[in-house]
Chain A
Amino acid sequence: MKKSVWSMCGMCTVRCPIRVEVEGNTVTWLEGNQNLLQGALCAKGSAGPALVADRERPQQPLIRKGGRGAGRWEPVSWEFALDYIADKLKTIIDRHGPEAIMASSRGGPFQDLVKAFTHALGSPNYTNHDSACGRNVHHASISLFGVGRPAFIYDIKNTKHLVLFGRNILASLRPAEVNQVMDMLDKGGRLTYVDVRQTLTGIKATNFFQVRPGTDYALALALIHEIIKAEGYDAEFVERYTTGFDELAYFVENYSAQWAAKECGIKAKDIHELVGQLIADRPKVIFHPGWMLSRYSDSFYASRALNCLNALMGNIEIPGGLIFAKGAGDCGGKGPRSLTDLSPKPTAKRADGVGEVYKQFEKGPGLFHLFYKAMATGNPYPVKGIICVRHDPFSCFPDPQAQKEALDNCDLIVSIDTHYSEFGWYADVILPESTYLERDSMIALQKGMKPRMIMRNKVLEPQADTLGLYDIIKGLATRLGLDQYFPFNTTQELWAWQLEPTGFTLADFEKKGFVEYADKPVLYDRDKLEGKFKTPSGKIEIISQKLNEWGFPSWKPYTSPAKPPKGQYRLVFGRSPLHAHSHTVNNPLLNEMMPENTLWINTREAGKMGVAEGDFVDVISGEITSVITAKLTDFIHPEAVYTVHGFGRQIPLQTRAYHAGMSDQKLMKGQLQNMDPVGGGLNLCETFVTVRKSSKNHQRKVEL
């Protein structure tokens, strides 16, 4: 019997809506939802069924037999594994209190379940990966607009000019967004791309600036300077909706195009030309404030400057600009219920110090890397149990060795994931979650110009002894006497409860695979934006009262990034459209397309080292040496070397990915706590590595 199922991709965290055809228990066709994506899907999306079929993912719960990381596992039943974890959790709670347990999951629409479980335990310590991703951008947005990054939708399709600082939008891709960019370019829109290297995005650009690594903030400040000098900003908007403009004008006085050109290694005339274009294209100009912008020690301020440029363009709440993401309430509707509403709000202080020691950071998910401090020192209190759900901190954060040392203070380490993660390999228990095609997920609200409810339907019956996340959490909750917070026996019961206040039923999802709250984009009256900016003053605070209160400047005087010593290079990393970080490297189809990464080296620098295209090079940081193939290019700044993140995995059961390529995060020795003090993001591009031609390049063959 052939059936067609609406669902949601899970190959990366973009979570594209999909439609899947199934015969028996096999996928026969899988495409992007025609109603939103007109069928479009990326390479990763098509490789989903290959993930399901892959036997190199955990097939049943596993409990560690040898030492941590030794890779000796005992296959056990779900009953046994859940009993084992519940017992350990009870012991930790008895000895240290529930706050000694922390949990982390991917951010986004499905974090509710893990967060609710953490709160039900009585712990405030829910966290996610974001300190290695968008925290700087999020906090920069809050400091300026009073609302975080998810509060805005970028109406790229209707803009005239999209400016991207290292946001490699066409490679680190979201299919719906990519189509907006291509539509905008087809209509004659302009794209300005700033990066230390040329990328799949940059090749489509109208203007390309190859800057010295770490100088984004300089260029952004110069743009502010020149736009103010030319009086090219939206004076009416600035007057009406912002505070602190005069201080900003004073602050940027010395940051001219001439100055930035020298600092960034670009031409002043090109900056002037860009400024002219921006003023002509205003207000339909979007400065992308960054996606993953945990890079340099001033990334928070770079993002703040980019968002400030949006305010100067007056692009808020207009087509082709930044539009407030609308919720169900903006359309006169009600959103689905959350499980966190059922669990008690935790009262204990967070172990990561967020909200107490670090008042500048939003409490929500806190900052994962700071929990390692608590584990290592026992301050403010011991953290003894950790559960990571579909999150691999060893691939995500710098210096896995330092992370392991902190984790050695834990009595219980649990990894819940669809595949073997590097963290899972070091854990005490691996609970295999069903892949996204084999599980249901909670209903979630996706805010936007047209807010909608989205859901993931199980497409296939699990092909191994795995469970969906609700069943795993419910199983643990039952054993811990927390059943009242998870009263639903099946996901179907949970969905019905979630949908109750919305007035919609599951049947409403059948037509398109999602439920929309509005037929047309919902825009606020641009003349009545008062109250939309949740800053103390209710305006866009170019000079932030809160930052001031916490003792941080709203604008940090620019400091030039360090030049790498001779023979060393700044290690930068990025994404390929073929892989979702480390998750997909062992996927048979995606591995075939891209089995390993390379090290991009500037051609002239490689010449100095005697390295030719395809040679092996040693990449050295502290006592860590990695060997990787060199790729030579003229289009990377000579101070930088670049690689695709996610490779260099060391899990023997992932035979395709095992030791293939190089891991950037393992080379980031001593960087685990190198954090932007204002934005909370880790400074992931502040590692210098030594590069040399490797002795592994065989000069002679000594064989029979």
Chain B
Amino acid sequence: MNTYTLYLNSKRCIGCHGCVVHCKANKRLPVGPILCEISHEPLKSVRGVPKTEFKFRSCYHCEDPFCVTICPTGAMKKREDGIVYVDAAKCIGCMACAGACPWGIPQHNPETNKAVKCDYCMDRLDTGLQPACVTKCTTHALKLVAMKEI
């Protein structure tokens, strides 16, 4: 059972892409891997105002993740609270996980030659903090939601 999901209040999101950089800076990622993304549909006129909504996407932390099953070394794991993460010590960088994922979520870190993906900043969660993208979201539009609360 997944405990968490990341929710974007698209009314508050201004498409500044802060979350993407907050994430990269926190994980100290080099140029290349991007673990979350902000996108939008082309503008459409709504009552005279060209509008669009922003969408946020990171890992979906699937119930039965293909990336975990396919990982040859057991580096890709799913925690009890549903977080799917990479155990860097075991990862050999074969990127089978990315091939197995329907959305190609796991990314290759060229500096470490290992897979890297969104893990809801579980190191921060475990000390009572929020993920980097949530804590530093420019407009406080991103929230980490515990599913039980809904």
Residue numbers in B under 8 Å from A203 (CB-CB):
43, 49-52
CA distance A214 to B144 in the complex (A): 45
The answer to whether the Cβ of A270 comes within 8 Å of any Cβ in the partner chain is: yes
B18 touches A43 (CB 8 A): yes
A207 touches B49 (CB 8 A): yes
Residue numbers in B under 8 Å from A41 (CB-CB):
18, 22, 136, 138
Residues 147-179 of A contacting B (Cβ, < 8 Å): 170-171, 173, 175, 178-179
The answer to whether the Cβ of A627 comes within 8 Å of any Cβ in the partner chain is: no
The answer to whether the Cβ of B139 comes within 8 Å of any Cβ in the partner chain is: yes
Among A175, A588, A635, point to the contact of B138 (Cβ < 8 A). Answer: A175
Indicate with 1 or 0, residue by residue over A19-30, a CB within 8 angstroms of chain B CB atoms: 000000000011
The answer to whether the Cβ of A577 comes within 8 Å of any Cβ in the partner chain is: yes
A635 touches B21 (CB 8 A): no
Residue numbers in B under 8 Å from A38 (CB-CB):
140
The answer to whether the Cβ of A204 comes within 8 Å of any Cβ in the partner chain is: yes
How far in angstroms is the closest Cβ of chain B from A200? Answer: 6
A186 touches B31 (CB 8 A): no
Residue numbers in B under 8 Å from A518 (CB-CB):
none
Indicate with 1 or 0, residue by residue over A204-230, a CB within 8 angstroms of chain B CB atoms: 111110000000000000000000000
Q: A39-B136, A40-B140, A202-B49 are in contact. Are A46 and B21 (CB under 8 A)?
A: yes
B18 touches A635 (CB 8 A): no
CA distance A206 to B32 in the complex (A): 38
Residue numbers in B under 8 Å from A635 (CB-CB):
43, 50
How far in angstroms is the closest Cβ of chain A from B52? Answer: 6
Residue numbers in B under 8 Å from A32 (CB-CB):
136
Q: A49-B25, A593-B20 are in contact. Are A40 and B136 (CB under 8 A)?
A: yes
CA distance A589 to B35 in the complex (A): 13
CA distance A38 to B22 in the complex (A): 15
Residue numbers in A under 8 Å from B18 (CB-CB):
41-43, 45-46, 577
Indicate with 1 or 0, residue by residue over B13-37, a CB within 8 angstroms of chain A CB atoms: 0111110111011100011101000
Residue numbers in B under 8 Å from A171 (CB-CB):
14, 16
CA distance A206 to B11 in the complex (A): 13
Indicate with 1 or 0, residue by residue over A616-648, a CB within 8 angstroms of chain B CB atoms: 000000000000000001110000000000000
The answer to whether the Cβ of B135 comes within 8 Å of any Cβ in the partner chain is: yes
The answer to whether the Cβ of A675 comes within 8 Å of any Cβ in the partner chain is: no
Q: A185-B11, A203-B51, A207-B49 are in contact. Are A179 and B22 (CB under 8 A)?
A: no
CA distance A589 to B43 in the complex (A): 27
Among B48, B51, B135, point to the contact of A270 (Cβ < 8 A). Answer: B48
CA distance A648 to B64 in the complex (A): 48
B21 touches A589 (CB 8 A): yes
The answer to whether the Cβ of B122 comes within 8 Å of any Cβ in the partner chain is: no
CA distance A208 to B14 in the complex (A): 17
Residue numbers in A under 8 Å from B101 (CB-CB):
none
CA distance A171 to B34 in the complex (A): 22
CA distance A178 to B141 in the complex (A): 12
B25 touches A178 (CB 8 A): no
Residue numbers in B under 8 Å from A40 (CB-CB):
136-140
A577 touches B50 (CB 8 A): no
CA distance A402 to B48 in the complex (A): 43
Q: A32-B136, A40-B137, A633-B43 are in contact. Are A186 and B11 (CB under 8 A)?
A: yes
The answer to whether the Cβ of A428 comes within 8 Å of any Cβ in the partner chain is: no
The answer to whether the Cβ of B90 comes within 8 Å of any Cβ in the partner chain is: no
The answer to whether the Cβ of B12 comes within 8 Å of any Cβ in the partner chain is: yes
Q: How many residues of A contact B (CB 8 A)?
A: 46
Residue numbers in B under 8 Å from A186 (CB-CB):
11-12
Q: How many residues of B contact A (CB 8 A)?
A: 30
B31 touches A588 (CB 8 A): yes
How far in angstroms is the closest Cβ of chain B from A600? Answer: 12
How far in angstroms is the closest Cβ of chain A from B71? Answer: 27
Q: A31-B136, A270-B48, A635-B50 are in contact. Are A589 and B14 (CB under 8 A)?
A: no
Residue numbers in A under 8 Å from B138 (CB-CB):
40-43, 173, 175, 178-179, 577
A173 touches B20 (CB 8 A): no
A179 touches B139 (CB 8 A): yes
The answer to whether the Cβ of A47 comes within 8 Å of any Cβ in the partner chain is: yes
Among A43, A50, A170, A208, point to the contact of B49 (Cβ < 8 A). Answer: A208
Among B17, B32, B43, point to the contact of A593 (Cβ < 8 A). Answer: B17
Indicate with 1 or 0, residue by residue over B47-59, a CB within 8 angstroms of chain A CB atoms: 0111110000000
The answer to whether the Cβ of A578 comes within 8 Å of any Cβ in the partner chain is: yes
A29 touches B43 (CB 8 A): no
The answer to whether the Cβ of A182 comes within 8 Å of any Cβ in the partner chain is: yes
Closest to B32 in A: A592
Among A47, A182, A589, point to the contact of B139 (Cβ < 8 A). Answer: A182
A31 touches B135 (CB 8 A): yes
The answer to whether the Cβ of A292 comes within 8 Å of any Cβ in the partner chain is: no
Residue numbers in A under 8 Å from B24 (CB-CB):
46, 589
CA distance A186 to B139 in the complex (A): 12
How far in angstroms is the closest Cβ of chain B from A27? Answer: 8
Residue numbers in B under 8 Å from A206 (CB-CB):
49
How far in angstroms is the closest Cβ of chain A from B44? Answer: 10
Interface centre among B26, B51, B138, B141 (most CB of A within 10 A): B138
Closest to B16 in A: A577
Among B17, B25, B30, point to the contact of A577 (Cβ < 8 A). Answer: B17
Residue numbers in B under 8 Å from A42 (CB-CB):
16, 18, 138
The answer to whether the Cβ of A198 comes within 8 Å of any Cβ in the partner chain is: yes
Residue numbers in A under 8 Å from B25 (CB-CB):
30, 46-47, 49-50, 589
Among A29, A204, A270, point to the contact of B14 (Cβ < 8 A). Answer: A204
Given A49-B25, A198-B50, 18 further pairs, Cβ under 8 A = A31-B136, A39-B135, A46-B22, A46-B24, A170-B14, A171-B16, A173-B16, A175-B138, A179-B140, A182-B14, A202-B50, A203-B43, A206-B49, A577-B14, A577-B17, A590-B21, A591-B31, A635-B50
- Give 23 pairs: A residue, B residue, CB < 8 Å, sorted on A: A31-B136, A40-B136, A41-B18, A41-B136, A43-B20, A45-B18, A45-B136, A46-B22, A46-B24, A170-B14, A170-B16, A173-B138, A178-B14, A182-B139, A198-B43, A198-B50, A203-B50, A208-B48, A577-B14, A577-B15, A588-B30, A589-B25, A593-B20
The 6 closest A-B pairs by CB, nearest first: A577-B16, A43-B21, A46-B25, A208-B49, A198-B50, A170-B14
